[in-house]
Structure 1
Amino acid sequence: MKQLSGVGVLDKAALVLNAVEASPASLGDLVTRTGLTRATAHRLAVALEVHRLVGRDPSGRFVPGPRLAAGGAAPLPWALLAAAAPVLAQLRDATGESTQLYVRRGDVRVCVAAAERASGLRDTVPVGTMLPMAAGSGAQVLLAFGADPFPGWDASAGSAAGPAARVGPAGSIAGPAELPAGAVFEASALEQVRQRGWADSVGEREAGLASVSAPVRDATGRVVAALSLSGPVERLTRSPGQRHGAAVAAAAERLSG
Structure 2
Amino acid sequence: MMHPMVEAADRVLRVLQAFGPHERDVSLGDLAQRVGLPKSSVHRLLVTLVGHGFVERDPSTRRYRLGVRLFELGSTVIHERGLHSAAHPVLEELSASTGETCHLAILSGLEAVYVYKVDGNSSITMSSRVGGRAPCHATSIGKVLTAWVGEDVLRQLRGHRLRAYTDRTITSARALEAELARVREQGYALDLEELEEGLRCVAAPVRDGSGRVVAALGIAGPRRRFQDGHLDRVVPPVVQAAARLSRNLGYVEVGAVPAAV
TM over 0.5: same fold? yes
- Are the structure 2 counterparts of residues 132 and 78 from structure 1 closer, same or farther at C-alpha, using a change threshold of 3 Å? farther
State the partner residue of 2:107.
Answer: 104
The answer as to whether partners of 1:70 and 1:128 remain within 8 angstroms in 2 is: no
2:192 to 202, 206, 218: 202
Measure how far apart 1:66 and its partner are: 8.4
Q: Give, in whole Å, the separation in 2 of the partners of 1:77 and 1:221.
A: 23
1:52 corresponds in structure 2 to: none
Query: Whole-Å Cα distance in 1 between the matches of residues 244 and 195 of structure 2?
Result: 27
* CA RMSD across the alignment: 3.2
Q: State whether residues 136 and 204 of structure 1, in contact with CA within 8 Å, keep that contact through their aligned partners in structure 2.
A: yes
The answer to whether the Cα contact below 8 Å between 2:117 and 2:129 also exists between their aligned partners in 1 is yes
Tell me the secondary structure at the aligned position of residue 137 of structure 2: coil
Unaligned segments of structure 1, at least 5 residues: 7-63, 154-176
Go from structure 1 to structure 2 and tell me whether the alpha carbon gap of 1:76 and 1:182 turns closer, same or farther (over 3 Å shift): farther
1:27-42 equivalent positions in 2, closer than 5 A: none
Structure 2 residues without counterparts, runs of 5 or longer: 7-67, 164-168, 251-261
Cα shift at 1:107: 2.3
> 1-side partners of 2:109 and 2:74: how far apart?
10
* Among candidates 152, 159, 162, match of residue 182 of structure 1: 162
The alpha carbon displacement at 1:222 in A equals: 0.2
Q: Report the counterpart of residue 149 of structure 2 in structure 1.
A: 146
| Inter-CA distance 124–247: structure 2 relative to 1 (3 Å threshold) | farther
Counterparts in 2 of 1:94 and 1:80: CA distance versus 1, 3 Å: same
Number of residue equivalences: 170
Q: 1:87 aligned to 2:90?
A: yes
1:77 is displaced (CA, Å) by 11
Residues in 2 aligned to 1:70 and 1:135: alpha-carbon distance in whole angstroms: 27
Q: Specify the alignment match of 1:34 in structure 2.
A: none
Instruction: Name 2:137's counterpart in structure 1.
Output: 134
Deviates more, 1:124-133 or 1:102-111: 124-133
Are 1:225 and 2:215 matched, yes or no? Answer: yes
Question: Sequence identity of aligned pairs in percent?
Answer: 33
In the alignment, residue 139 of structure 1 is paired with which amino acid? G
- 8 Å Cα contact 2:146/2:154 also seen in 1: no
Q: Could you list the runs of 4 or more consecutive aligned residues of structure 1 that deviate by over 6 angstroms after TM superposition?
A: none
The aligned amino acid for 1:189 is E
1:191 aligns with 2:181: yes
- Greater relative contact order: 1 or 2 (C-alpha under 8 angstroms, separation 6 or more)? 1
Aligned position for 1:117: 120
Asked if the contact 1:199–1:241 (Cα under 8 Å) also holds between the matched residues in 2, the reply is no
